[in-house]
Chain A
Amino acid sequence: MDLLLRVVILVVGLWLFFRVLRGHSHLYFSGPMAYVSAAMLLFFISMALFAPEISPQNPYDLAQLNIMDSRLAPGSSSIDQALVYHLGTDDQGRDILSGILYGLRVSLTVSLLATLVAMAIGVIVGIYAAWKGGKTQAFLMRLVDLQLSFPSILVALMLMASFGRGVDKVVLALVIVQWAYYARTVRGTALAETSKDYIAAARCLGFSDIRILFHHLLPNCMPPLLVISTIQVANTIVLESSLSFLGVGVPITNPSLGLLISNGYGYMLSGEYWMSIYPGLALLVIVASINLVGDRLRDAINPRLKR
């Protein structure tokens, strides 16, 4: 049942991707980087989705761990010769490869969720401010300015310090520090777009405000939004990792990539590099592939950039 659900998620995700690209896929797949980045992203997402099936052990099931296996170098076998640790083990005897697979799930879920919620809130606030104008707009935008005047990592740290650890709390903190980016971007483009004739034309056709806002205005504000949201997904992964690295992010029982890096950090200088380096590499590659896919996606689906 659970497996079936994950297969459905993957299929729906792929369908959405091609549905968005409908009629534009030749524009998207127009260079080797497009194939590579899409394949990488697909690879990492399926890895995260099917982690329990793929990974050699469940690193958070204490029954499967053996303290005698701790801090083994990549390629060594477990003490009972049952499996080979291709990327080594950490100080608890957990397989690093399995840790990365499970960590990917946490990192991706947290950042996708936070980005979506922040975007929804930001878009509504931004578009409402642009439409309303006057005092409402001034108030909302000052709020955004206030939010953006603090570095996001600082605000997130303070929030996490008061919330305590937890996946849901990380998501909440990330939403709070990020909604303002979307609000500001959307408001800027929406202001430029509302002054255009097609909005006046839509009003002349007797459409309701809600309809004009979300069906006519919003799609025209999407291109810059798509760009910043892809950058933000990647940013959110990094931000979440930073929080976890600093020890205020996800709980130790449910580690993300950042927490894995943090766990191995103490052993870096003693030459046991694999505990931090491999999760770090995974983080690097996934962030890069999300950025590449997002960038190409924007170029492909934006009707205004078309020749």
Chain B
Amino acid sequence: MSILEVQQLQTHFFTNSGVVRAVDGIDFILSEGQVLGLVGESGSGKSVTGFSILRLVDVPGRIVGGRILFRGQDLAALSQQEMRAIRGDRIAMIFQDPLMTLNPVLRIDTQMIEAVRAHHRVSKKAALSRACDTLTRVGIPSARERLSSYPHQFSGGMRQRVAIAIALLNEPDLIVADEPTTALDVTIQSQILSEVQGLARESGTALIWITHDLAVVAGLADEIAVMYAGRIVESGPADAVLQRPRHPYTHGLLGSIPGLSRRGKPLQQIPGMAPNMANLPAGCAFAPRCGRASEQCHSRTPETQALSPTRSLRCHHPLSEEELA
């Protein structure tokens, strides 16, 4: 059964220099316990997608179209009050910078008890013991003692664990994780990744993992959606997309990762810069940077085409199977 179904979601920012179509008609479906890796460059609209799902887009941004069906209920149509009851309870979020997401002047126990009691009528004691259990689950040693610490007494990795514990507190159906391991070093990153994966499996929580790091999604995600300039250009099962990327952009992204097997060879980089979102080129937004672009690419926006029931693509000239081999 699908937990989240995003249909033609559009979030635009109405700035002085014009309308920025940060998210421009994206679709995806997420089932229970599934991990979706949302991949893209900075400014491709992946974080805005995350915030749109939680309906926390700040002015001048606004969700202008589409539906966000969460367990069949359209989040875009809910009142502020109803939305607030869902945030932090059924849908939680984890942020990029663990140094900033915990309130520096409140103790961990205060913050966790508050997060439980904002949604459930339980005693402080019950909330505290739930907080303690969750901290233990995310791998914080001697959780009971650490509960009465302030955020600055934790290291970066530990703080991110606390943030993850807060997200897990109310056993949400969906967690939106916005580059949660980017600020951590590699060993901590892999520890946290495997723990989050385990926790999601255990509780059947669906995950949207927003990142620019393909190595991270490769090990974690079931599904991958690659975003470029506010649109999903390629999506499908993680293995298929990573091993047989059909879109030139995905191909370019994968090619630009340094690897041990390609030692000494020059890295292939995607030429040019990510486009200015307020002033997108006509046709396919990737065309100016694409080696395969034709006349058609500069004039007509490619439509989403289904390659198979699970894979879809938005390109006039996708890489063929022969080229990949």
> Across the interface, do B104 and A220 meet the contact criterion of CB distance under 8 Å?
yes
Question: In this assembly, does B192 line the interface, its C-beta being within 8 Å of a C-beta of chain A?
Answer: no
Q: Contact mask B283-305 → A, CB, 8 Å, 1/0?
A: 00000000000000000000000
CB closest chain-A residue, reference B58:
A200
CB closest chain-A residue, reference B100:
A197
Give the CA-CA distance A215 to B110 in the complex, in Å: 10
Give the CA-CA distance A211 to B85 in the complex, in Å: 14
Selected from A206, A220, A304, the residue in CB contact (under 8 A) with B89 is A206
B50 CB to nearest A CB, Å? 10
Question: In this assembly, does A19 line the interface, its C-beta being within 8 Å of a C-beta of chain B?
Answer: no
Question: In this assembly, does B228 line the interface, its C-beta being within 8 Å of a C-beta of chain A?
Answer: no
Identify which of B2-10, B111-119, B269-277, B317-325 touches chain A. Answer: B111-119
Question: In this assembly, does A202 line the interface, its C-beta being within 8 Å of a C-beta of chain B?
Answer: yes
> Across the interface, do B100 and A204 meet the contact criterion of CB distance under 8 Å?
no
Q: B residues 161-183 with Cβ under 8 Å of A?
A: 163, 166
> Across the interface, do B100 and A198 meet the contact criterion of CB distance under 8 Å?
yes
Given contacts A205-B115, A215-B114, A303-B152, contact A198 B101 (CB under 8 A): yes
> Across the interface, do B118 and A205 meet the contact criterion of CB distance under 8 Å?
yes
Given contacts A206-B87, A219-B106, A304-B152, contact A201 B101 (CB under 8 A): yes
B-chain residues with CB within 8 Å of residue A203 when the two chains form the complex? 56, 87
Give the CA-CA distance A201 to B94 in the complex, in Å: 8
A-chain residues with CB within 8 Å of residue B152 when the two chains form the complex? 303-304, 306
Selected from B104, B106, B114, B163, the residue in CB contact (under 8 A) with A304 is B104
Selected from B56, B104, B106, B150, the residue in CB contact (under 8 A) with A204 is B56
Give the CA-CA distance A226 to B240 in the complex, in Å: 59
Given contacts A197-B95, A197-B100, A198-B103, contact A206 B56 (CB under 8 A): no
Output the residue of A198, A215, A304 with the most chain B CB within 10 A.
A198
> Across the interface, do B105 and A206 meet the contact criterion of CB distance under 8 Å?
no
Give the CA-CA distance A198 to B114 in the complex, in Å: 14
Question: In this assembly, does B45 line the interface, its C-beta being within 8 Å of a C-beta of chain A?
Answer: no
Question: In this assembly, does B92 line the interface, its C-beta being within 8 Å of a C-beta of chain A?
Answer: yes
A-chain residues with CB within 8 Å of residue B150 when the two chains form the complex? 303
Interface size for A (C-beta < 8 A) is 21
Q: Contact mask A161-205 → B, CB, 8 Å, 1/0?
A: 000000000000000000000000000000000001110111111
Give the CA-CA distance A297 to B162 in the complex, in Å: 30
B-chain residues with CB within 8 Å of residue A200 when the two chains form the complex? 56, 95, 101
Question: In this assembly, does B54 line the interface, its C-beta being within 8 Å of a C-beta of chain A?
Answer: yes
Give the CA-CA distance A203 to B91 in the complex, in Å: 12
Selected from B54, B88, B97, B101, the residue in CB contact (under 8 A) with A207 is B88
CB closest chain-B residue, reference A201:
B101
Give the CA-CA distance A53 to B152 in the complex, in Å: 49
Question: In this assembly, does A208 line the interface, its C-beta being within 8 Å of a C-beta of chain B?
Answer: yes
> Across the interface, do B87 and A205 meet the contact criterion of CB distance under 8 Å?
yes
Give the CA-CA distance A211 to B110 in the complex, in Å: 13
Give the CA-CA distance A88 to B87 in the complex, in Å: 70
> Across the interface, do A208 and B88 meet the contact criterion of CB distance under 8 Å?
no
B251 CB to nearest A CB, Å? 34
> Across the interface, do B105 and A205 meet the contact criterion of CB distance under 8 Å?
no
Give the CA-CA distance A204 to B166 in the complex, in Å: 11
Selected from B86, B95, B105, B118, the residue in CB contact (under 8 A) with A219 is B105
Selected from B88, B97, B104, B106, the residue in CB contact (under 8 A) with A205 is B88
Given contacts A203-B56, A206-B86, A303-B150, contact A198 B118 (CB under 8 A): no
Selected from A207, A208, A303, the residue in CB contact (under 8 A) with B105 is A303
Given contacts A220-B105, A304-B152, contact A206 B100 (CB under 8 A): no
Q: Contact mask B67-105 → A, CB, 8 Å, 1/0?
A: 000000000000000001111110011011100111111
Output the residue of B89, B93, B105, B166 with the most chain A CB within 10 A.
B105
Q: Contact mask A196-235 → B, CB, 8 Å, 1/0?
A: 1110111111111001000110011010000000000000
A-chain residues with CB within 8 Å of residue B54 when the two chains form the complex? 204
B-chain residues with CB within 8 Å of residue A196 when the two chains form the complex? 100
Q: A residues 26-48 with Cβ under 8 Å of B?
A: none
A-chain residues with CB within 8 Å of residue B100 when the two chains form the complex? 196-198
> Across the interface, do B114 and A204 meet the contact criterion of CB distance under 8 Å?
no
Selected from B84, B96, B106, the residue in CB contact (under 8 A) with A208 is B84
Output the residue of B85, B88, B97, B166 with the most chain A CB within 10 A.
B88
A-chain residues with CB within 8 Å of residue B102 when the two chains form the complex? 198, 201
CB closest chain-A residue, reference B150:
A303
> Across the interface, do A204 and B105 meet the contact criterion of CB distance under 8 Å?
no
Q: A residues 87-138 with Cβ under 8 Å of B?
A: none
A225 CB to nearest B CB, Å? 12
Q: Contact mask B34-54 → A, CB, 8 Å, 1/0?
A: 000000000000000000001
Output the residue of A200, A205, A211 with the most chain B CB within 10 A.
A205
B-chain residues with CB within 8 Å of residue A219 when the two chains form the complex? 103, 105-106
Give the CA-CA distance A306 to B150 in the complex, in Å: 11
Selected from A198, A206, A303, A306, the residue in CB contact (under 8 A) with B119 is A206
CB closest chain-B residue, reference A212:
B103
A-chain residues with CB within 8 Å of residue B93 when the two chains form the complex? 201, 204
A-side residues, CB < 8 A to B, are: 196-198, 200-208, 211, 215-216, 219-220, 222, 303-304, 306
5 additional A-B residue pairs with CB within 8 Å, beyond A201-B102, A203-B87: A197-B97, A200-B95, A202-B103, A206-B119, A208-B84
Sample (18) of A-B pairs whose CB atoms are under 8 Å apart? A196-B100, A197-B101, A198-B100, A198-B102, A198-B104, A200-B95, A204-B54, A204-B88, A205-B92, A206-B87, A206-B88, A207-B114, A207-B118, A219-B103, A219-B106, A220-B104, A303-B150, A306-B152
Closest 10 CB pairs of A and B: A205-B88, A206-B87, A206-B88, A197-B100, A204-B93, A219-B105, A201-B101, A206-B84, A198-B103, A197-B101
